[in-house]
Amino acid sequence: QLGIALLAEGRRKQQLDVAAAAMFAQLSDKCLSFGELAAHKYADVVAERMRMGRPITVEDAQIAAIALTHGLRLATRNVKDFTEISGLHVINPWQLGAD
């Protein structure tokens, strides 16, 4: 959305806006949202990391909170930023099966 918003007004911007709206409509029931429960878990994640002296970005804490709220494993190549979060199981899909 940001990239589209930054474009100059014109036909290309309008076409991309329509295409993006269609894509988001198709994905709306497939994306996990950051709701009230995740917001509470977010606070726990950030506080835990702050107490450890290991700050975490807002975005990473939100991702972790959503996964924790839904009891899901988190698949990411960026494992280091999600370590030491209580209850979070992190999987690096690029290392699966590598011995």
Angle between helices 36-51 and 58-69 (to 10 degrees): 120
DSSP state, residue 95: S
Percent residues over pLDDT 70 in the chain: 97
4 and 43 fall within a common domain: no
Task: Of 50, 87, 56, 55, give the one whose Cα is nearest residue 69.
Answer: 87
25 and 59 fall within a common domain: no
pLDDT digits (tens, 9 = 90+) for 65-83: 999 999 999 999 999 999 8
pTM above 0.85, yes or no: no
46 and 74 fall within a common domain: yes
23 and 52 fall within a common domain: no
Contact (Cβ atoms closer than 8 angstroms) between residue 94 and residue 77: yes
Q: Is the pLDDT at 28 greater than 90, yes or no?
A: no
